[in-house]
Amino acid sequence: MSTHTLSANTEPDLKNIYRNKRSLFIGLTLSSLLFIFLEFNYGWRQGALFLVGLFAGLVLYHAAFGFTAGWREIVSTGKGAGLRAQMIMLGVTVVLFSLIISQGEFFGIQVVGRTAPLNTAVAFGAFVFGLGMQLGGGCASGTLFTVGGGNVRMLITLIAFIAGSVIGTWHWSSWQDAAGIDPVVLTERLGTLGGVIASLLIFAVIYFATVLYERKRHGAVVYEPKANFTILKGPWPLMVGALALVIVNVATLVLAGRPWGVTSGLALWGAKFVGILGFDVSDWPYWLRASQAASLDESVFSNITSVMNFGIIIGAFIAASLAQKFSPSIKIKPGHILSAVIGGLLMGYGARLAFGCNIGAYFSGIGSTSVHGWLWFAAAFAGSIIGIKLRPKFGMI
């Protein structure tokens, strides 16, 4: 091989190495400064929750644990490894959540689960969200970690997600009289043990249903291929990612007093931005609620969900740099841009109606044994199927 050829081959590699070393330095510096800032100005819990967000970003990136891809895989190919990993994740979460929530408080902090009504707003919002996440290319947490990992297309999805969230808060009051019933929580109706057992049975049914379906499609269960991985560079097996996300949600519960959520932070960012543009949203019913009113006047750094979202983005940025994979590209096909905009708008709007997303409603709702989480799952999965069928129209596989 000639010296000229060797130089041509190694120069791009050296550029990539330098780029990732630089981005790693930026990520570590930014996370350290933000942690110190939060610690000194908002207390140790806020700093700790930012670190939990950082860990979530690392986990999501290295395990590529997007709920979107797992659902698309079972629908498109019949392979259910991603969905089975989610069932394991939910099963462990239900057990741990139920033990903690049943105590009423944890180290002096009152803890509550994530609950919501069973109504048409949840069903419609989840359906719209499921459709949007297939067109947008990721769920709520998936959008954040891929943006942090350097995916420019997903930055478009995130901006549209925030815009859709603002529209959702504007329309929020129109959906509050939607037909339905009050929250149903299995551990309250059946007792802690009964609620846990009922939940585990549902997980088991879904788990083994995917096994049977996969065997029917492929003749056998197609296991995730084994690959060499390291903690810092990945890629992590799905199951490792699933159990690590359990740690994230449990840590959020004991530090914040409630489970993990993502999209309310995006709605707040949108409200702050339109406020800068001169639009006053403070009289919208969504922001008049006791749980939201103060957040408009306070800094986003005092908002738990926002701080954790910042952590997810920066954590994924660090993870991509460690793996030598941070390499943003602005070359995006027009069809992909359009699908990102439509998908983001649908997800933002749907999440406000459905009391959350794949994290707040699905993961945390089912983890709290709230039946609305199952309604969200069913409706979002149905919307996801339609979204999968629409992807080719935008040039997406």
Query: What is the residue-averaged pLDDT of the chain?
Result: 91
Per-residue pLDDT tens over the stretch 263-274: 999 999 999 999
What is the pLDDT at residue 231? 75
Are 284 and 167 in contact by the 8 Å Cβ rule? The answer is no
Looking up tokens 């929020």 gives: 172
Kindly list the domain boundaries of the chain, sorted by start residue. Answer: 15-394
Per-residue pLDDT tens over the stretch 274-290: 999 999 999 999 998 86
Q: Give 169-184 as a DSSP string.
A: HHHGGGGTT-SEE---
Q: Give me the percent of the chain exceeding a pLDDT of 90.
A: 77
What is the pLDDT at residue 3? 43
Name the β-bridge partners of 119: 180
Are 266 and 144 in contact by the 8 Å Cβ rule? The answer is no
Between 84 and 225, name the one with better pLDDT.
84
Name the β-bridge partners of 181: 118
* The dihedral sign for the CA sequence 257, 258, 260, 266: negative
- The rounded distance, in Å, linking the Cα atoms of 278 and 271 is 11
Are 321 and 62 in contact by the 8 Å Cβ rule? The answer is no
* The dihedral sign for the CA sequence 314, 35, 237, 203: negative
Per-residue pLDDT tens over the stretch 341-381: 999 999 999 999 999 999 999 999 999 999 999 999 999 99
Are 280 and 328 in contact by the 8 Å Cβ rule? The answer is no
Beta strands in 116-246 (DSSP E): 118-119, 180-181
Per-residue pLDDT tens over the stretch 319-332: 999 988 888 888 89
Are 124 and 379 in contact by the 8 Å Cβ rule? The answer is yes
Torsion of CA 101, 103, 105, 108, to 10 degrees: -150
- The rounded distance, in Å, linking the Cα atoms of 204 and 185 is 19
pTM for the model stands at 0.93
